[in-house]
Chains A and B, each alone.
Chain A
Amino acid sequence: MATQLEPHLHADEDAFRSEVQQFLAAHFPAELKGKANALAGVDGPTDETPAQTKWRKAVGERGWGTPTWPKEYGGGGLTKAQAKIVEQEFAKVGAYNPIGGMGVMMFGPTLLEYGSEEQKRQHIPPICRGEIRWCQGYSEPNAGSDLANLQTFAEDKGDHYIVNGQKTWTSGGQWADKCFAIVRTDKSDKHRGISFMLIDMDAPGVEVRPITMISGTSPFCETFFDNVKVPKENLVGEEGQGWTIGKRLLQHERTNISGGGGLASMMGRSLGEIAKKYGETDAAGELADKVLRDRIADFEIRWNSFLLTARRAVEESKAQGGVSEISSVLKKLGTKLSQERSELMIEIRGLQGLGWEGEEFTDGELEAVRGWLFGKATTIYGGSTEIQNNIIAKRVLGMLDHQ
């Protein structure tokens, strides 16, 4: 029976594939070929070239930037197989997905799970069209790893809340239109006193101050709320459900930080190839520095098995539906290995690999330095490595305080 069905399936897939190809021919501006999505990250301003705008609008219109999200909310409504086709065809012509950012990676999936019908209709379509940038209001000066210790308070005023407090490490806060935040609605219960709400960043009383990091960039901000009015319809889920919803969102964040998404691109250039450019090779064409060669291979083998683990997690999560606690393992491994890669890269390049600025350095060299420094944050944010270890030990391994 399977053999009878297959030709039809293939015919459908072929038809869809040519639809995607036609779309790309009609809408993808040639000048953007091979470029990355400048707006996907959190560390860039919002200025777009006309070509970028055109491309974003074209993809947003189809919902193909969020291919598997429901069509009724502006997503592509595609099957996983179709989404794969979109990805493949985009890659073939060097087209990036112009729809990205925290709305896509973290907030959207969470709202689709916990939001009311009205909230989904209001907030998901602009994410799918890439029109709204979201930021995350989680950490506070005294609530880092102990996130549930947050003190920002939302006082119930009948049809609205009045929010007072301070958030920190607000990624992309200076460029964001809206903030998904966890705030305290009840001071008597640490975890059940937390609620998840949506705050307009241009509401009166919201002030954002960028923080300069050791990398010289300012992707994070301090965000102050001074008597900010938040309408009740911006509460997601029930009052007191914020810790549950907030943690769910963090699972999406971890999966993204670890690179559970676009794995192929993460393999990057072989460090060995780069080392051959910067160092001596022997008659056999091997790196002359055998100790360095050994260390690069040691790293690349572990990097390889990490990528395989991420791929395995994706395959297995298909069966289980959505992200899981394995995200803690991926986050812990991926961030550590990325840091290790950056350190090795510097060692390979020597002082040429530590440039801060100047034309004597290539763009690649300079970016690697900033990346190395900024990368130190990855084992701290999204739940530090130590917090991930707690999660793995307690939730996965059952090493509870009370047996």
Chain B
Amino acid sequence: MAVLNEEQEMLRDMARDWATNESPVTEFRKVRSAGEPQAYSADAYAKMAEMGWAGIVIPEAYGGSDFGFMSAGLVVEELGKTLTASPLVATTIAASAIILGGSDEQKAKWLPRLASGETVATLAVDEGAHHDPSAIETNVLAGKLTGKKAFVHEAHGADLFVVAATDGLYLVEKGDGVALTTRKLTDQRSHADVVFDNASAEKLDDGSDSLLEDVVARAQVLTAAEMLGMAQAVFDTTLDYLKQRVQFNQVLSTFQALQHRMADLFADLAQMRSAVDAGLQAVDGGYGVARAAVVAKAEANRVLHVISNQGIQLHGGIGMTDEYDVGFYLKRARVLEASWGSSSYLRGRFAKLSSY
């Protein structure tokens, strides 16, 4: 854990208390049973926004707290621990696109609504099953955007889409020319293919040439923070289980084979946390963001992959049951691993950023 300031500690403790008490995994089970395509509780998201979490990266002038990504990451991590279903990550990423590339008018129109939770937004970049910002065909003619975006996170709840087209990022409101096809993935959260057919679009024109890259970096870092919470939760649960479960008249935690495996995972988790912290700090510091984000997401992918698998293995048979939570983490893990860059994509990107 990075050395936090008082504000950040309070925020984290508040998020931890809320997630533990108000949003344990049983709440996610309720969302799943309800079977709504939106796949989150609007009441829960309203409460989160009320606590200021939707505006953490938004400037104070636009109704946010401007605490920055490190702070947003702390909250997202806590929510990841209990698999809280919400559009908080998607909206924060979309907000960052408007902050980085929006005109004063666009900021004034959208940021206060995103901060208050009134409007939900999401980023739509990829057009296939793999993250590939170099393969965008969506285009805009005379203010009308046309194209198909695949597996868009939180699409069902979104009022506003930040859409990557061949010549930049655009804001598109839901409505005419925007059609969703639900893509139900293993994590049981909201995903959809979104077809834009001559939809009215407004360009985010005030950002740098690397606006898309900058926004994807923020998506990578914040997603990695959610994954960190998940990895920590699986690790903690598994460790507790090993200390309880008795076989051969011994608690499992006394077996050296299992002790050493947990020591390996503990070291992996330490690396993951360092990489995620550094990614969040890089965004706030505005230095080396692209590279730090790649390292954060790549380490999140690697470590959560291993921990989610070991979580099942070390729980044994009960880990395979729907009644037990550990399987939910496995399923969500793979969805997030494949979003904003798989491990092999990220390695290629790291090599490119390092000029080899």
Contacts and interface: CB of A to CB of B under 8 A. Distances in A.
Interface of A: 270, 272-273, 275-276, 285-287, 293-294, 296-298, 300-302, 304-306, 308-309, 311-312, 315-316, 318-319, 326, 329, 332-333, 386, 388-390, 392-394, 396-401, 403
A403 B243 contact: yes
Contact of A315 (B3, B275, B299): B3
Contact of A304 (B251, B256, B295, B352): B295
Nearest to B246: A403
Contacts of A396: 266
A258 B77 CA distance: 28
A165 B260 CA distance: 33
A145 to B, nearest CB: 13
B346 A275 contact: no
Contacts of B242: 399
Contact of A386 (B253, B260, B274): B260
Given A300-B350, A301-B294, A399-B242, A293 B259 contact: no
B47 interface: no
Contact of A399 (B3, B253, B302, B348): B253
**Can you list the 7 inter-chain pairs with the closest CB atoms, starting with the nearest?**
A272-B356, A393-B259, A308-B274, A297-B347, A389-B263, A392-B263, A399-B253
Nearest to A274: B356
B262 interface: yes
B347 A294 contact: yes
A5 to B, nearest CB: 18
Nearest to A318: B3
Contacts of A293: 348, 351, 356
Contacts of B267: 329, 332-333, 392
A296 to B, nearest CB: 7
A294 to B, nearest CB: 5
Nearest to B242: A399
A298 B347 contact: yes
B259 A389 contact: yes
A304 B279 CA distance: 12
8 contacts: A276-B356, A294-B344, A294-B348, A297-B354, A298-B347, A308-B277, A312-B277, A399-B254
Given A270-B356, A285-B355, A329-B270, A399 B275 contact: no
B159 interface: no
B2 A312 contact: yes
Interface string B265-300: 011001111110110000000000000001100110
B263 A308 contact: no
Nearest to B250: A401
B251 to A, nearest CB: 5
A398 B346 CA distance: 35
A326 B267 CA distance: 9
B284 to A, nearest CB: 15
Given A333-B270, A390-B260, A399-B243, 16 more contacts: A272-B354, A272-B356, A275-B356, A286-B351, A286-B352, A301-B347, A301-B350, A305-B299, A306-B274, A308-B275, A312-B277, A332-B267, A333-B271, A390-B263, A397-B239, A399-B253
Contacts of B350: 297, 300-301
A318 B278 CA distance: 18
Contacts of A403: 243, 251, 253
Interface string B326-356: 0000000000000000011011101110111
Contact of A393 (B263, B343, B354): B263
A397 B356 contact: no
A305 B295 contact: yes
A285 B355 CA distance: 8
Contacts of B260: 386, 389-390, 393
Given A393-B259, A399-B254, A302 B356 contact: no
B356 A296 contact: yes
B243 A332 contact: no
B206 interface: no
Contacts of A270: 354, 356
Interface string B101-117: 00000000000000000
Contacts of A272: 351, 354-356
B253 A316 contact: no
B1 interface: yes
B264 interface: yes
A390 B351 contact: no
B250 to A, nearest CB: 9
B243 A305 contact: no
Given A272-B355, A308-B277, A397 B266 contact: yes
A396 B265 CA distance: 13
Contacts of A273: 355-356
A308 B278 contact: yes
Contacts of B262: 392-393, 397, 399
A329 B274 CA distance: 13
Nearest to A273: B356
Contacts of B272: 305
Contact of B295 (A301, A386, A398): A301
A297 B348 contact: yes
B306 to A, nearest CB: 12
Contact of A388 (B1, B263, B275): B263
Nearest to B266: A392
B346 A301 contact: yes
A305 B271 contact: yes
Contacts of A398: 243
Contact of B254 (A287, A308, A401): A401
Contacts of A294: 344, 347-348, 351
Contact of B351 (A287, A311, A312, A315): A287
Nearest to A403: B251
Contacts of A393: 253, 256, 259-260, 262-263
A208 B47 CA distance: 72
A311 B167 CA distance: 40
B356 A316 contact: no
A333 B272 CA distance: 13
Nearest to A301: B298
B97 to A, nearest CB: 26
A285 to B, nearest CB: 7
B81 to A, nearest CB: 18
